[in-house]
Structure 1
Amino acid sequence: MNETGQDQNTIVAEVLQEVKSSHERFESAAGDLLIKTMKEDSQVRNGVERFIECYMTMTTGYNEWALQSDRYGVKEHVQEDGSFLIPL
């Protein structure tokens, strides 16, 4: 147990669910935004598409950096298949 009163498996499951939910919210919002711009001219649509692509690139880049950076000490736990085995 920790200060939240939850075991590690519960906490990990909650974090993974939040990451999944965040991704789903982004996908939904991006889709809604693209639908709203369908009636706009091509310059507006292209700008919105580019914004979404840039945000996805930035987020992916941050995630890759966080996994590879010495700052968080995660890269030393990468397995041969690309997964991570991090002792808790």
Structure 2
Amino acid sequence: MFRLDWYDLSQEEIQEYREKIEYYNKLLQLDYSLRNLSILKDFKEANERDYQENWLNNSDFQNDLRKWKNGDKPGFFESLFNDLFGK
């Protein structure tokens, strides 16, 4: 904005330039926001694919989850022992 002071402009012309600058700033912010949304959408889709491939379609994980839901839940120390030394 300080560069406008270098020119011999009327207040109306200065106001026009300010409005144009504000308009372009809003467009830049919108473009930046849309790019961020696009990045977030890509991130979400990648995580959904990863979850689908690695967890939902993993039969070992699903079996362990089913056992856990059915009450076959080892205690903390038993679980720790099993993790450290195998079952």
**TM surpasses 0.5:** no
Q: TM-score, normalised by structure 1?
A: 0.40
Q: Which has the higher contact order (CA 8 A, sep 6+)?
A: 1
Higher helix share: 2
